[in-house]
Amino acid sequence: MIGSWKAGLHTTFYGSISTPDSLKVETFDSDNQFTITFNDDNTYSAVFVFFGDTESEAGTWSVNENKLTIITSDGEAVGDYSISGNTLTLEFGETISGYTTLEVFVYTKQ
């Protein structure tokens, strides 16, 4: 987990994962980038670049089994994670009134 990871793919499933109502797939390129760095002191930083606009975020992180918890000043996000070789996959889901949204990010270690 420690190190910098660059996003290559972001998929959002709306409704059911197996048969979603809709699906949004985004790839990252030179105009759109998302890099997250996990430090060994359990802090992290993230940089988002979207068509020339840059935003950054920082906070803390922890893992427990296959769950990743990210805490920022805006709140907490808990999701599943897996690492295979130099690929990190993060999945963050939310269900509101029976409707599920699942976001899947796939990163490559830098």
Q: Whole-structure pTM over 0.85, yes or no?
A: yes
Report the pLDDT value the prediction gives residue 72, as an integer from 0 to 100: 93
Which residue range forms the structural domain that includes residue 84? 3-109
Taking alpha carbons only, the member of 38, 57, 39 closest to residue 47 is 57
Q: What is the number of domains present in the chain?
A: 1
pLDDT band with cut points at 50, 70 and 90 for residue 97 = confident
Residue 78 belongs to domain with CATH number: 2.40.128.280
Tokens of 34: 């998302």
pLDDT in tens, 70-79: 999 889 999 9
pLDDT in tens, 7-41: 999 999 898 767 778 888 988 887 789 999 999 99
